[in-house]
Structure 1
């Protein structure tokens, strides 16, 4: 019998939690415990999380979290993510509850103040990929820059159990870009959800064309004289912002964190999980743990 390959699933906790909240809140009904505590996001999170673990069969699982809105990126650019509204009130108690549920599965919750979950995921992917296959579970296309020979980025699509699993080949086929070019693309076009502008007047179509022709931002800048006059003027005018936005888009893979493989082996204790599910009145999820 073929030995099952070891792999680690790195979960973008906030991406799953927010998706779960909005997917259920859209009906206008918020699931609560009998004590009135909202749990709709946590309930949905568990369904996404469990399905991914069953689908990809990792031997190890880690969940990464943002630790507040102030990071080194907000120091670099005061408007970074400044367009984000406060989370809905019903979500507030669920930020701690979801981590308790993750812990009940025996899965470490990882987050470092001053950095984003993306940076923790990038660092762990770099740490573990020499010895394990790595799957990154998220809804965030920024993480596609982490795709590597042994790192696949799994993007949650609409509906349960619906994933796009990106390796280098699919990324090239679908986006016409390499992982490194994802960063350069963001430098050129910015990111409206993270609230940084890129080069004013350069859209995705132009940026992808420039990158496929010249390879990188460096390649584009070395060939400015070959660009159409209008495009060249836009880039020259926004050079400083171009470099800043590329830096903001770059996931840091050297965050000062340590998570040992033996701490994240996927062997949940059914009693611990059942007890947490009972506390949160997750009757519909009991069948998951047998």
Structure 2
């Protein structure tokens, strides 16, 4: 199981921050995001029962995508002050579980996840735990995606089959879909005036962006005009949408075998003043023997 660490951490933070419940400990450190992260983490382990686990992180805000397009994710506000001290602490918690923390400057967690997942072909089946639908482009015969839904333990598990049944396109075509329609959360526009419904229809008919451009004469006058007006942004948006699966990162299976030392984990829980989490790691035999 490859975990999108930031997806879990941010989800956990905002679930309680909205009501001001930051769970500040006796040292004055907020711990609400870490608390929720741990709960999400072990709930997923109990649900999917992976034999190997690694957590991937975004390292810095500047990546090769912001170099290509400075406005990439520029619409996002700075992290809340209560969350900032939890970024490093949560990695210490993961380390106390003897689970690898993985991240590389200049790339996003998605790129690390994609690279490692593809490296596992022929070695292991991979489940990616995230809340980000962008990762669905990685689906293949050995990669599935568990999208977090509201609450704990609720997932939408995607495979290439049910993804194609739902969207009418292949996972790989999702890159072209985002190139056409853009992504408001990541702040790149795609082709102005082309929404998801139109983009899906174009891809179902012409397979990919290259096929669409080759057959511009078959499009409606309005579709053709929109694409021709935003041709440069179309190609840029596609490059921004594509998860890189060849970044300089790796994680060997033996490095990620799930083998939690309860004493180390409990020591970290007590340091953070988490009083009700001992049971997660005391079930060591259940977590490691599959």
Instruction: Say yes or no: does 1:285 pair with 2:277.
Output: yes
Instruction: Say yes or no: does 1:80 pair with 2:72.
Output: yes
Instruction: Say yes or no: does 1:33 pair with 2:12.
Output: no
Alignment of 1:139-218 (within 5 A): 139-218=131-210
Could you tell me how far apart the structure 2 residues matched to 1:196 and 1:85 are? 16
Could you tell me how far apart the structure 1 residues matched to 2:56 and 2:121 are? 17
Give the alignment partner of residue 129 of structure 1, picking from 113, 121, 126: 121
Shift of 1:213: 1.0
| Partner secondary structure for residue 14 of structure 2 | helix
Could you tell me how far apart the structure 2 residues matched to 1:275 and 1:175 are? 46
Counterpart for residue 83 of structure 2 = 91
Counterpart for residue 256 of structure 1 = 248
Contact 2:30–2:83 (Cα < 8 Å) also in 1: yes
Could you tell me how far apart the structure 2 residues matched to 1:128 and 1:203 are? 35
Could you tell me how far apart the structure 2 residues matched to 1:134 and 1:269 are? 24
Counterpart for residue 49 of structure 2 = 57
The runs of 5 or more residues in structure 1 that have no matched partner are 1-8
Aligned residues: 282
Could you tell me how far apart the structure 2 residues matched to 1:81 and 1:282 are? 34
Instruction: Say yes or no: does 1:117 pair with 2:109.
Output: yes
Alignment RMSD (CA, Å): 0.8
Shift of 1:56: 0.8
- Runs of 4+ aligned structure 1 residues displaced above 2 Å come to none
Counterpart for residue 6 of structure 1 = none
Greater shift after overlay, 86-95 or 124-133? 124-133
The runs of 5 or more residues in structure 2 that have no matched partner are 283-290
TM-score using structure 1 length: 0.96
Instruction: Say yes or no: does 1:12 pair with 2:4.
Output: yes
Shift of 1:287: 2.1
TM-score using structure 2 length: 0.96
Shift of 1:203: 0.7
Shift of 1:289: 2.1
Shift of 1:224: 0.6
Could you tell me how far apart the structure 1 residues matched to 2:275 and 2:192 are? 52
Could you tell me how far apart the structure 1 residues matched to 2:254 and 2:53 are? 11
Shift of 1:258: 2.4
| Partner secondary structure for residue 122 of structure 2 | coil
Shift of 1:29: 1.7
Shift of 1:129: 2.4
| Partner secondary structure for residue 236 of structure 1 | helix
